[in-house]
Amino acid sequence: MPDRDLTALTARVRRLEDESAITRLIMSYGPAADAGLTAFAGQLWTEDGEYDWDANGTPHHGGAGVDAMLQSDGHQNLIAAGVAHFAGPLLIDVDGDAATALNYSLIMRRDGGRFYLWRVSAVRWDLVRLDTGWRVQRRTNRLLDETGAGRELFCHSLTELFAGAAGT
C-alpha cells in the first residue's frame, strides 16, 4: 500500500473514531441527567465550558455549573416525577481538535400513566479534544417555538459548517 493511501486511511479511521467518541459523549448526557448522575454529566464539559440552555437565561459555567444545575430542586423534581431527555441523531463536523455537532433535543414528561413530548430544542455542541478525550466547550439550546431562536441556531450553524455547499 503506498504511503499516501495509508495516510488517507489513517485519517479516515481517526475521523470515524472521533465521531464515535463524540457521539458517545453527547449521548451519555441525557441518561446521566435522568439518572441523577450529576457529577458524571458535569464532567462532560471543560472546566471553562458553558451550557447556554435558554436565550433569556444565564448560562451554566463549566462542569461544576452543569453539576449544580442538575442538583437543583427544579431538575430533581422533574426526574422524580419522570422525565426523559432524548437526543436525536447527530450531525458532526470534526476539524482537527475541534468539532461541532447539531441535533434535536426532545424532553418527555410523565403525566399519570402516559408520557408526552414537553419540549423540542435545536442544539449545537461545540467540542474540543483534550488529553483526556473530547469534552463540551459549549452547548447551546434554543427552543423550536414561535420566537424562531431554534431555527436561527440551526440556520447559522449549518451555514457556518457547510458554507459553499450546494443550496447554501
Within a domain: 124: yes
Stronger pLDDT, 45 or 2, i.e. the higher one: 45
Quote the pTM value: 0.92
Within a domain: 9: yes
Give Cα separations from 5 to 10, 11, 94 (angstroms).
8, 10, 21
Cα–Cα distance, 150 to 9 (Å, whole number): 37
Cell of 79: 426526574
Q: How high does pLDDT run on average in the chain?
A: 94
Report the pLDDT value the prediction gives residue 164, as an integer from 0 to 100. 61
User: In degrees to the nearest 10, what's the CA dihedral of 19, 21, 22, 26?
Assistant: 140
Report the pLDDT value the prediction gives residue 70, as an integer from 0 to 100. 97
Q: Which of 101, 151, 91, 100 is nearest to 121 (CA)?
A: 151
Question: What residue type is assigned to position 119 of the chain?
Answer: R
Within a domain: 168: no
* Rounded average pLDDT over 80-90: 94
Report the pLDDT value the prediction gives residue 23, as an integer from 0 to 100. 98
Within a domain: 167: no
- Structural domain span for residue 69: 3-161
Number of domains in the chain: 1
